[in-house]
Amino acid sequence: MGDRVFTRDTYNSATSSRGIDFSSHDSRKHHATAAGEEHVRRTGNLDPVVDPKTAPIHRSLLRFMPTPDGKWRVSVGCPVNVESIVDTTGSMGNNVDIAMKVLPDTYDCCAEMLPGKDLQLSIGIFGDYDDRFILCRPQFEMEAEKIVDYMSRMNPEHGGNGNGGEDPIYGIFAAAFLTDAYLNRIGLKGYHFVTTDEPTHEINSRQMERVFGEHVWEEIAANGNPQITKYEFPDNQSIMAELHKKMHAFAIVRKAYYRGDRTTASWEKLYGKDRVVEIDDTHCLPQIQAAIIGLTEGVLQPMDVEKYLRDHEVSNDNIAAAMPGLRRIKFGAQRILAENAGYHIPQKGDIFAEKTDLQPTDDALPTDQPSGDETVWL
């Protein structure tokens, strides 16, 4: 239904129905992607639910319920698209199991920082340059059943195929050029996180077609970017410039002490120093991502970040690694965008004449809130 959201009860039901049991010491009971890996063994292809070739443009839109007079009522709130792609190669190979286990924390922590909003999650994975499947990218979903389902259908490469180097750039490209989000239409941004312990490659057209299919260029053009073709496509810096226009984008780098700071430096060069946060291990991703969102939304005060992490049981090692990066994040960046854009931010109950309208009908705006060019805050 158009008003359902994530709950821990539906999460428990969804994992249980798939035989995923994180309370068991038997690893076979919590191998989250067994169904997806079996699909690959049986068919030689990714499950369509997570295959980037399937409906490459991913959408995050308002959810409505019909009204008796033929209009549309916002059923949850303003959609906020939060996309995360996580490395699953080598020592990061168990990250889908970790992400599935902490999924309720991911939803609860992020939703806490987005009061009144419709949190829409896409949690994907990426592998090595030479892997059979470089990227698993699901659509944005809001319900536990659907999120658990798409995570269970992924195919992590675990050790990777050789050592071609990790390749998140195709997930980053998809966020920049193959995403259609309502937030962008009203001058705001969604969130994008890449979690890795390695640098990335430069993009190339052969890999683009391998990941997204040979018709990807038509899909990119259909999403408003006709200038990108098989022969004229952006380099990594240009991709990042576009991503920053549409997303509050951050790299979360797991510290690899034997490499020094080479990986962190490479992401700081690509993203900017104020968009890179280090961690010690990936169990803390829900809290770190939520802290980043809270700071960017202006909901979590900078002076409260460390206490927030401690209160949410983040380890001392992760706090020590993350705090330098968290201190650099621009506080209230989303709020500044909203003030400058001047749009009404849809709330639950707002009435739209058509689903495709940018704003609700004038008579649907709250009477105790400003209208016209003034921003309405949730």
For 61-102, the pLDDT digits (tens) are 999 999 999 999 999 999 999 999 999 876 555 788 899 999
Tokens 């899909």 identify what position?
219
The band of 130, judged by pLDDT with boundaries at 50, 70 and 90, is confident
**pLDDT per residue as tens digits for the range 197-216:** 888 888 888 899 999 999 99
- Count CB-CB contacts under 10 A for residue 43: 10
Domain 8-364 belongs to what architecture?
3-Layer(aba) Sandwich (3.40)
CA 313 vs CA 105, 284, 286, 289, 342: distances in Å? 11, 9, 11, 14, 38
Write the burial class of residue 244 (CB in 10 Å: 0-12 exposed, 13-18 middle, 19+ buried). Answer: middle
Q: Estimate the crossing angle of helix 285-297 against helix 103-112, to 10 degrees.
A: 10
Q: What tens digit of pLDDT does each residue of 225-259 get?
A: 999 999 998 999 999 999 999 999 999 999 865 45
**What pLDDT, in 10s, does the model give residues 301-357?**
999 999 999 999 999 999 999 999 999 999 999 999 999 999 999 999 999 999 999
Q: Would you say 121 and 147 are in contact if contact means Cβ atoms under 8 Å apart?
A: yes
What is the pLDDT averaged over residues 218-224? Answer: 96
Query: Which has the closest alpha carbon to 142: 10, 32, 294?
Result: 10
pLDDT over 80 at 164, yes or no:
no
Is the CA virtual torsion 23, 24, 27, 31 positive or negative?
negative
78: DSSP letter: E
Q: In terms of Cα–Cα distance, which of 233, 232, 220 is closest to 174?
A: 220
% residues pLDDT > 70 (the chain): 89
Q: Residue 344 and residue 370: Cα distance in Å, rounded? A: 9
- The first and second tokens of residue 184, run together, are 């962008």
Residues 62 and 120 sit within 8 Å (Cβ to Cβ)? no
- Listed in sequence order, the residues at least 6 apart from 63 whose beta carbon sits closer than 8 Å to its beta carbon are 2, 3, 74, 75, 76, 79, 118, 142
Closest by CA to 112, choosing from 377, 292, 320, is 292
Q: Would you call 373 helix, strand, or coil by DSSP?
A: coil
How would you write 117-171 as a 3-class SS string?
EEEEEEEEEECECCCCCCEECCCCECCHHHHHHHHHCCCCCECCCCCCCECCHHH
> Mean pLDDT across the chain, nearest whole number?
90
